[in-house]
Structure 1
Amino acid sequence: MAFNIPVGPKMVGTFLLQILIFLWLQLPPAESKEHSARCTMMEPFQLPYQNYQRGDLIIGGIANYFGFVVEEMDFHEHPNTKLIDEFFEVLKYYQNTLSLVFAVKEIKENPNIVPNMTFGFHVYDSYTNARMTYQNTLKLLSITERIVPNFKCEKKKNTIAIIGGLDFDISLYMATVLGVYKIPQIAYCVLAPVRSPELQPQTFYRTVPNEKYQYAGIVRLLLHFQWTWVGIVASDDENGETFMQSLVPMLSQHGVCAAFSEKLPALSQGLDNFSFLEPFRAKSSFLMASEVNILVLCAEPQTIAVVKWMQYFYSVAEDVAEKSTGTVWVLTAQWAFSSETMQRLDIQAFDGALSFAIHTEKVQGFKDFLQTLNPNSPHGDGFLQAFWQQAFNCLFSASNGHKENTKTCTGHESLESLPGHIFEMTMTGQSYSIYNAVYAIAHTLHQMHSSRSKRRMMADRGGLDPPELQPWQLHSFLRSISFNNSAGDLVSFDENGELAGGFDIINWVTFPNQTFSRVKVGKIVPQDSQYVNFSVDEGAITWHRSFNQVLPLALCNDRCQPGYSRKKKEGLPFCCYDCASCPYGMISNQMDMDYCFHCQDDQFPNKDRDQCIPKRQHFLSYAEPLGFVLASLALVFSLLTALILGIFSRNGDTPIVKANNRDLTYTLLLALLLCFLCSLLFIGQPHPVSCSLRQAAFGIIFSIAVSCVLAKTITVVLAFMATKPGSRMRKWVGKSLTNSVLLACCSVQTSICAAWLCTAPPFPDMDMNSLMEEIIVECNEGSVAMFYSVLGYLGFLAMVSFTMAFLAKRLPDSFNEAKFITFSMLVFCSVWLSFVPSYLSTKGKQMVAVEVFCILASSAGLLGCIFSPKLYIILLRPDLNSKDHLILRGK
């Protein structure tokens, strides 16, 4: 034999740490009188339970089965350690050890994984106690029950890796020792023992995903069901503080409010007296009577125990049955109904609960393996008979001390008959993690032996055969291992040594006989370091019976309906709000919208302001009454003008027609006919052709008409001036002058319109904003300056014509049209002067109607004022339509 003494400053410190742990473990606990009989039956801290099987390579294990509860020392008296309860057993955790045994059995029967070597195992219990965890971890590294650090001999137990523990405290205790020896430790605790990955030992692995994915899954679950008003419950310890600090900010970031964040007293607080009962009762009444429908619980075992006692105290204080009304519990992956949670706990309160669980798949053969267990022949399993006695409430022999009314165990009792909170025949998430851990070690060894380059690289450092294989050689292979287990799941570790996998979402359905079933209803799969892929089958969920299978609500207040937006309530969390109606012209089309918004330009809000309706097109149509009336008037006046033109043509040789230039009369009538007809270009849906033509046609045709009136006025004036003796005006009287006036006046307007059409022609346009419920389909004038230039020039011609007619109105009536022209131009100018403010103050079809009306009114004014007196003579007083009569009247 030999002692392997470490050298170097770092190794000296490690060696001193081992000695301190060794000396501490030798200190026996002080015993209370009432328990001294039991404690003297064994060596100090030498609790007998273990499970061992020989093999070339040994996989160590630290299980959580028995509890070893002691009271805290307050140093008011001489320090000692008193047992409060000798042992309590979590029967359900026994399956964890069985999954390790089953995995080793499968590997032995599979010659393709680790040929030419056999696996064994050695499992101790942690007793959920730091001192016992340190002691049993060191025992796994020793060849005898005595703990001698660094002791070696020729024939030794070759422990290649160790699996454990269940919670983060036990895992940390183990890592303190195993990290010294660089032995791989594969834990199955849901929470990492070290929060920062940088501080986590390089020898530490977990077959559990990082807890941050669980927190992200909780947020996604709450958002999926639109639960924004929830209670947060955790134990008042370091784990509960971490839970609060991690989850609450994530909830706030995603719009979920905590109605309360309650920390429950730790189970160890005050158990030796009743000083804690008053605040405990207050918390019980507050939590259990809370009207919050959704409670998120950090489901550590100690938190579950506190909830159990809270239910009990609430029922006693209120003299009511334990709370079983509608609350949906959202639980973390540590949750499981076990025998410890069933004491004084009405599981009906957890009916319909949703919990996260380590992802599992059905492992073939495990149920058959469980049915082969024989407690009469445990084959090195020191846990089996203890489990059997507790599970079936029986004893194996009289040597164990029969109690009254206690039956004798036969060993043929059926595990399938046990309720789920004691034992399950399918692998739990913890057992599945241990199963994967064993296979990870086996596949690592397989990869080491199959990689020749790695074998040559390590040849100088030690062989790969079982006697020479060193645990530290596994690390480089273990971190990169990737394989599919027998259930088809991919098993691999990420850069932090944690399982690259996700969580299942479990729905817990409870029954009045204190039994339950768990239904997998969803899962979360990590996508990257921040996001998870979330899925849930709502139809598979059974809610608490008080909800009658209706989705529970979790809101601070009633939701805002479409047509309203949320308005913050001062002094309350952002999930509490009032509902304000959307302002005029805005809508909200979903529940609980933060802001109302405008519709698209071609839509407008409905009456309830909860949806957008397509706008109607708005233009002066022939189908509507106004458009029909104006079009009818245009056609009537056009026919009337054509009739007048026909009458004048038929009576073209009469004096009344010849007077004041017959050709100008015909031209004026034709221009007025076109004026009436051009108004039809303004009615109907605008098109590129109609938009280009209508203002240009209106400007040119009206310029012709006004120019004719001006030319007739000039003709009258020159005619009377030419009758004076010696007048030089005679040479100007004739068709050449009138044609020149007409051509000159029209040319200017034609030039303006041509320049307009060439530079910025009118085009169809849609005004989306002027009217709330309609889209104005109009002709955009292109150049406003050109439009008003056309109107301005037309107004200039009209004013010149009016002025000259007004000056010539006193000439002899028989030859003079000046009075009629004066009155007609007065009507014309009045109409168009009123047009400008009316045109500018209207929109859409009303604006078009104003222009059409002005065209018809001004044209009708010219037609009526100039031609009605002549029509009266032609049609009703033909006796006056003679040259003699006109000469006599002129005298």
Structure 2
Amino acid sequence: MEISALFIGLILSLGLCELNSALALNGSGDGLIQRAGLTKHRPGAGVSTEASSVKCKLQGATRLPAFSADGDYVIGGVFSIHRYKHIVKHNYTNIPEPIRCIGSIDPRELRLSHAMVFAIEEINNSTDLLPGIKLGYQMYDSCASVPVAVHAAFQLSNGLDPVFDTSDNCSQSGMVMAIIGESGSTQSISMSRVIGSFDIPQVSHFATCACLSDKQQYPSFFRTIPSDQFQADALAKLVKHFGWTWIGAILSDSDYGNNGMASFLEAAHKEGICVEYSESFYRTHPRSRIQRVAEVIRRSTAMVVVAFAASGDLKILLEELSREPSPPRQWIGSESWVTNPDMLRFSFCAGTIGFGIQQSVIPGLRDFLLDLSPTEVAASPVLTEFWEDSFNCRLKKTTDKSLCDGTEDIETLQSPYTDTSQLRITNMVYKAVYAIAHAIHNVVCRNTNSTTRCDKVTRSKQVLAELKKVNFSQNGYDVSFDANGDPVAKYELVNWQKTESGSIELVTVGLYDASLPVGQEFRINRNLTWMEGDTQVPVSLCSDSCPPGTRKVLQKGKPTCCYDCVPCPEGDISNATDSPDCFPCPKEFWPNAERDTCFPKPVEFLSFNEVLGIILAAFSVGGACLAIITAAVFFRHRSSPIVRANNSELSFLLLFSLTLCFLCSLTFIGAPSEWSCMLRHTAFGITFVLCISCVLGKTIVVLMAFKATLPGSNVMKWFGPPQQRTTVVSFTFVQVLICTIWLVVNPPFPMKNLSTYKERIILECALGSAIGFWAVLGYIGLLAVFCLVLAVLARKLPDNFNEAKLITFSMLIFCAVWITFIPAYVSSPGKFTVAVEIFAILASSFGLTFCIFAPKCFIILFQPEKNTKKHLMNKNQN
């Protein structure tokens, strides 16, 4: 409200001068002029209407410049030499007293103002730049205050004379060619809005707000310091470079801080950086506000604090933090304070890193700054105040301090004013003066016959046009402006490092050049020290990094940098730190135990090298050997009654088929192949049908033999050996036909089973046609049931050696095995499916072998007395 009221008042008192003078020249508008606070002076008693006699008078008191010098062209300057302004409470009944600057003098700002004087005098002594032209200057102290800066801008636009002639144009009578300043972005914004309407160029040495690049709003604004947009991007890359994702942010509650931090937060968000808190403050805020910000920093968990603040503001906060012990924090600074030597006294901020303007050397500047004569000091209130504060004495006798005795030597003064070891912002002022001088030179000077001739009449609008085109080099520093009035962004990365004596010094450890390609702008070429003198990069994370094998899950209601680490689900991996997602392994791969790498799944099949495979193979070979041995026993005793009575031909064929049944189980062991898959199922089906056909033939023979003993029976001639062979061949041929059709239409084939087990691959034989497989099994089952029925019918025939009972028992075992095989086969996983099938083959084969041939072999080998026809006939008779 205060700023707006002053701004309107200044427009009424200063900006309307030209309009009211014009009305006065036309003989009208008297009342308007009087209402605006302006009076017309008429010589003599009468009223003159001649334009030449009309004068304009400024309302109110003018503000005197801190430093000034006459010249052909005057350059204005506005610097924050004092840190504060005297706040007056208006009663709106009396005219407010002029705003006064209070507080201590900022030595660095005083040095900047004298650097401007040095550059102007250097140009005035030059024979190449503006020869024969003398530049003057008018410098104002803004007290870092917007109202004072705006007041200074109006005075630089209209001049200092309280009464001036309107015959030309009152607004042009004292107009400067250009203005250098202000140091702060907020003040520069307010000034630019005023002087932009008059086409007066403004070149700032320290206003970095990115908003000032908007030429629609600030058409006459230029700067020799890079925009905060470049610095914000550089700071975000710096924070990301050291792996900090959890930071705190503090900022000046001004255009510089608000806009700079907004740009930084946007860049930080793109880099995946989260902000725990963002606190703003200003030097004029009550102490309670500063204490609250300090307490937020103390309580925070973020170890890194990014401060986008003016040095005058941050100084107050650091003083508050120094009153009570605070947890160590890693400070990241913007160039406005991180290179300020006055800030190095805060030892608890050792290790601070940030970006600063490049160091420079200005020959002769130090001698100029030290060349302060007592007369010059006494003539300037600002220098007098600086001198008295620096040496703690008074130039005029007072009661509170001793009188300066003349022995004070400024060369022995340790002050930012005399410190020219790291000229940064000072060089920005130096370049700004030369940029304006070159623009004026390009307007007023012409080269004729190897000589330069310069006129002494020009307007600020022409200087503004030429300033956009300047491109020169001074002391090795290039000076030019882009379309937005900005220079090329180059920064030094600086680090606050403790010396052996315990003091803090500013060390350049890297560079940042925004003109280089993306990814190459930033480099570090020296070792850094961190908070508390540590050489290890501090860690500032909301959550620890998630190791490979886990993924990040955001914590509800917290920033994206706060998360929990959740192990990847089964079958998925993450092979990077802080992975947001897990991804599945390829089809034939599986994660390791840590779930950070995919390995090929182990291949599993029933192998001859494993225990189960060896056991089943042993039983298979043992069963085949048993069948062969039985056949050998039968062959050795083929003429014995017991062998002859039990149809020796079918018995030998049955033993042969049982041998094949035992051996066919071997085809189920080992890695499946196309041939083994086709062979194992067809061989199993055919050999078992051959076996059941033989058993069925023997059962029919027993029944027919009983029928043949009846009087008048002629059955055996219809079921003799030829018919028995035909029966076996016919039944077996049907199975061969089924298997052939199966193999032709859709044969079994090897496949990788990936669904039964997720973590391994099962090599198995796919059935091809399930109908074919179940047709083979169904046919075997049909013959087995038929055989069982016949055997049951013949189980009570009065024959000591008839096999009906043995066949009945063997077929019961056979059917029981294969009935239980079906659910076991369907439910068994992986290689155990094959093992179940082999077990069923072996169990049924052993059942047939033992039930049918074991009793006969026992009699043949151990009870030969019973292997006689007489014994056979006696038993039959019984």
For the pair 1:818 / 2:804, whether they are aligned, the reply is: yes
Residue from 326, 334, 337 that aligns with 1:335: 337
CA deviation map 1:114-166 (0-9, x unaligned):
9x98998665434235566557667877999899899699x999987665443
For 2:64, what is the secondary structure of its paired residue?
Answer: coil
Q: For 1:426-825, what aligned pairs fall within 5 Å after superposition?
A: 426-428=422-424, 431=427, 435=431, 493=482, 496-499=484-487, 501=489, 504-510=492-498, 514-521=503-510, 523=512, 525=514, 535=522, 537=524, 540-545=527-532, 548-556=534-542, 616-652=602-638, 656-659=642-645, 661-721=647-707, 725=712, 727=714, 730-748=717-735, 750-752=737-739, 754-756=741-743, 758-759=745-746, 761-767=748-754, 770-771=756-757, 774-813=760-799, 816-825=802-811
For the pair 1:46 / 2:64, whether they are aligned, the reply is: yes
TM-score, structure 1 length as denominator? 0.73
Q: 1:885 to 1:353 in 2, by over 3 A?
A: same
Q: What is the identity, as a one-letter code, of the residue corresponding to 1:508?
A: W
Determine the structure 1 residue equivalent to 2:284. Answer: 268
CA deviation map 1:470-506 (0-9, x unaligned):
876788897799999987989763x644446465543
Q: Which runs of 5+ in 1 are unaligned?
A: 1-11, 30-43, 270-275, 451-463
Q: 1:519 to 1:699 in 2, by over 3 A?
A: farther
Determine the structure 2 residue equivalent to 1:829. Answer: 815
Deviation at 1:858, TM superposition (A): 1.3
Aligned length: 815
Q: 1:830 to 1:193 in 2, by over 3 A?
A: closer
Query: 2 CA distance for matches of 1:830 and 1:233?
Result: 85
Deviation at 1:400, TM superposition (A): 12
Query: 2 CA distance for matches of 1:574 and 1:715?
Result: 87
Q: What is the identity, as a one-letter code, of the residue corresponding to 2:221?
A: F
Question: Structure 1 residues 573-582 or 706-715, which shifts more?
Answer: 573-582
Deviation at 1:544, TM superposition (A): 1.2
Determine the structure 1 residue equivalent to 2:188. Answer: 171
Deviation at 1:526, TM superposition (A): 8.4
Contact 1:709-1:801 within 8 A present in 2 as well: yes
Query: 2 CA distance for matches of 1:840 and 1:341?
Result: 82
Determine the structure 2 residue equivalent to 1:80. Answer: 97
Q: 1:789 to 1:396 in 2, by over 3 A?
A: same
Q: For 1:21-40, what aligned pairs fall within 5 Å after superposition?
A: 26=58
Contact 2:150-2:191 within 8 A present in 1 as well: yes
Residue from 66, 71, 85 that aligns with 1:70: 85
Q: 1:705 to 1:25 in 2, by over 3 A?
A: farther
Deviation at 1:329, TM superposition (A): 1.7
Residue from 840, 855, 868 that aligns with 2:841: 855
Query: 2 CA distance for matches of 1:509 and 1:618?
Result: 64
Pick the structure with greater CA Rg: 2
Query: 2 CA distance for matches of 1:640 and 1:735?
Result: 28
Deviation at 1:347, TM superposition (A): 1.2
Name the % identity. 27
Determine the structure 2 residue equivalent to 1:8. Answer: none
Q: Which runs of 5+ in 2 are unaligned?
A: 1-14, 23-32, 39-55, 447-452
Deviation at 1:336, TM superposition (A): 3.3
For 1:334, what is the secondary structure of its paired residue?
Answer: helix
CA deviation map 1:251-294 (0-9, x unaligned):
67876554443333x3234xxxxxx4556555555545766533
For 2:279, what is the secondary structure of its paired residue?
Answer: strand
Contact 1:103-1:439 within 8 A present in 2 as well: no
Query: 1 CA distance for matches of 2:181 and 2:118?
Result: 14
Q: 1:388 to 1:263 in 2, by over 3 A?
A: closer
For 1:200, what is the secondary structure of its paired residue?
Answer: coil
Query: 2 CA distance for matches of 1:587 and 1:387?
Result: 73
- The alignment's C-alpha RMSD in Å is 5.6
Deviation at 1:753, TM superposition (A): 5.8
For 2:97, what is the secondary structure of its paired residue?
Answer: coil
Q: 1:340 to 1:420 in 2, by over 3 A?
A: closer
Contact 1:394-1:408 within 8 A present in 2 as well: no
Query: 1 CA distance for matches of 2:386 and 2:847?
Result: 119
Q: What is the identity, as a one-letter code, of the residue corresponding to 1:705?
A: C
Contact 1:505-1:523 within 8 A present in 2 as well: yes
Question: Structure 1 residues 203-212 or 673-682, which shifts more?
Answer: 203-212
Deviation at 1:852, TM superposition (A): 1.9
Q: What is the identity, as a one-letter code, of the residue corresponding to 1:330?
A: I
Contact 2:699-2:790 within 8 A present in 1 as well: yes
Question: Structure 1 residues 773-782 or 861-870, which shifts more?
Answer: 773-782
Question: Structure 1 residues 802-811 or 594-603, which shifts more?
Answer: 594-603
Residue from 295, 298, 303 that aligns with 1:293: 303
Deviation at 1:351, TM superposition (A): 1.0
For the pair 1:127 / 2:115, whether they are aligned, the reply is: no
Residue from 212, 218, 228 that aligns with 1:211: 228
CA deviation map 1:742-764 (0-9, x unaligned):
34444335524642564253322
Contact 2:203-2:221 within 8 A present in 1 as well: yes
Contact 1:436-1:491 within 8 A present in 2 as well: no
Q: 1:441 to 1:47 in 2, by over 3 A?
A: closer
Contact 1:712-1:738 within 8 A present in 2 as well: no
Query: 1 CA distance for matches of 2:428 and 2:211?
Result: 23
Residue from 228, 232, 248 that aligns with 1:231: 248
Deviation at 1:335, TM superposition (A): 1.9
Query: 1 CA distance for matches of 2:728 and 2:437?
Result: 112
Contact 1:96-1:431 within 8 A present in 2 as well: no
Determine the structure 2 residue equivalent to 1:33. Answer: none
Query: 1 CA distance for matches of 2:190 and 2:512?
Result: 32
Query: 2 CA distance for matches of 1:352 and 1:501?
Result: 24
Query: 1 CA distance for matches of 2:57 and 2:314?
Result: 31
Contact 1:25-1:135 within 8 A present in 2 as well: no
Q: 1:538 to 1:691 in 2, by over 3 A?
A: farther
For 2:776, what is the secondary structure of its paired residue?
Answer: helix
Contact 1:482-1:491 within 8 A present in 2 as well: yes
Determine the structure 2 residue equivalent to 1:305. Answer: 315
Q: What is the identity, as a one-letter code, of the residue corresponding to 2:700?
A: I
Query: 2 CA distance for matches of 1:150 and 1:790?
Result: 123
For 2:250, what is the secondary structure of its paired residue?
Answer: strand
Deviation at 1:631, TM superposition (A): 1.9
For 1:355, what is the secondary structure of its paired residue?
Answer: strand
Contact 1:563-1:610 within 8 A present in 2 as well: yes
CA deviation map 1:687-734 (0-9, x unaligned):
444344323332333233223322333344345445653546623433
Deviation at 1:348, TM superposition (A): 0.9
Deviation at 1:441, TM superposition (A): 9.2
Contact 2:188-2:207 within 8 A present in 1 as well: no
Deviation at 1:353, TM superposition (A): 1.6
For 2:332, what is the secondary structure of its paired residue?
Answer: strand
Contact 1:762-1:781 within 8 A present in 2 as well: yes
For 2:537, what is the secondary structure of its paired residue?
Answer: coil
Deviation at 1:517, TM superposition (A): 1.4
Q: 1:625 to 1:251 in 2, by over 3 A?
A: same
Contact 1:161-1:441 within 8 A present in 2 as well: no
Query: 2 CA distance for matches of 1:260 and 1:339?
Result: 28
Query: 2 CA distance for matches of 1:589 and 1:449?
Result: 68
